[in-house]
Amino acid sequence: MIYRNKGSRSTRAGFGEGLLESGILSGEVVALGADITASTGVNLFATQYPGRFFSLGIAEQNGAGVAAGLALGGKIPVFTTYAVFSAMRTLDQIRVSVCYNNLHVVIGGAHAGISVGPDGATHQALEDIAVMRSLPGMSVFSPCDATQARILTRMAILDCSGPVYIRFGREAVPDFTGEELETVPGKAQILRPGNHLTLISTGHMVWEALGAAAILARSGINARVINIHTIKPIDRMAIIEAAQETGFLATIEEHQVEGGLGSAVAEIVVSEVPVRMEMIGIPGCFGESGQPAELLGKFGLTSTQLAVRIERAFRDRENQP
């Protein structure tokens, strides 16, 4: 299947639309912000339901605690701010108040990854997947585009139970998910069939993985592409089948290699069907200020760079005795 860009939109826009749709469908949905409303996509909900929106100022830890209290009171709270704050500054409150009580609190991690661009290292969340997926009971969503962000946000709020973390970005990226493409939490999407190797990606990097697969095809390498939009609970069978059927996996993420998608996949592969893996992401360093496209190039995350690295690793494996 060929996926076409319907137009570039940000995943934060999709998050905001999903939040608003959920608020229309359920009067129990409330939203909490931390002094940044429009930049996280929550302004749509806040404008239509001002009585159900609470701006708590630059007090993220307090926001997580308030969200827990609202959940105990029967509401469905959605607490959103930049991922560096919502996933890490609030870690103690999320761990003890939200996760320990298994409360249905939806946490939005905005501006995740290096594609935040000029905001620089302090605002580029590159560790949030590792932090959130380590918490007992926490689900972790990482949509690939605006359409999927809208769908997963609505599902996280209305269909899930327990705490859910949704990771999304600021910059506009290709929006290619069709409404007919089934999106189910915990179930990976095979976007492209292939039997030589498998590209497993998440978030904004899924589009780059599809581009890399198209480039590899010109070299005679048939790459399967899997979108892991739910990092926890992860689709174990999709990963096991890919390892069994292709024998080579490359994980691609806009996150630290340590603890992220690659680690989650490796935890399955090492115990079920050990195969060669190439783990591609941020190599154990902080991000930098710069334009998003420039930063993707600096860290080797463009489709062309990915194709070159993966083909080299694949050929090396073929040449091993």
Instruction: Give the pLDDT confidence of 249-306 residue by residue, as tens digits.
Output: 999 999 999 999 999 999 999 999 999 999 999 999 999 999 999 999 999 999 999 9
Instruction: Give the pLDDT confidence of 216-235 residue by residue, as tens digits.
Output: 999 999 999 999 999 999 99
Residue extents of the structural domains in the chain: 8-174, 189-319
The architecture of the domain spanning 189-319 is 3-Layer(aba) Sandwich (3.40)
Instruction: Give the pLDDT confidence of 72-92 residue by residue, as tens digits.
Output: 999 999 999 999 999 999 999
DSSP three-state, residue 270: helix
pLDDT score of 2 more than 70: no
- Of the chain, the percentage scoring pLDDT greater than 90 comes to 91
| Cα angle, residue 161 at apex, residues 159 and 166 outer, rounded to 5° | 80
Cis peptide leading into residue 233 (ω within 30°)? yes
pLDDT mean across residues, the chain: 95
Fold of 8-174: Rossmann fold (3.40.50)
pLDDT score of 148 more than 60: yes
Q: Where are the alpha helices (DSSP H) in 80-220?
A: 83, 91-93, 128-133, 146-158, 205-217
DSSP three-state, residue 81: strand
Question: Cα–Cα distance between 120 and 114 in angstroms, integer?
Answer: 8
Q: Do domains 8-174 and 189-319 have the same CATH topology?
A: yes
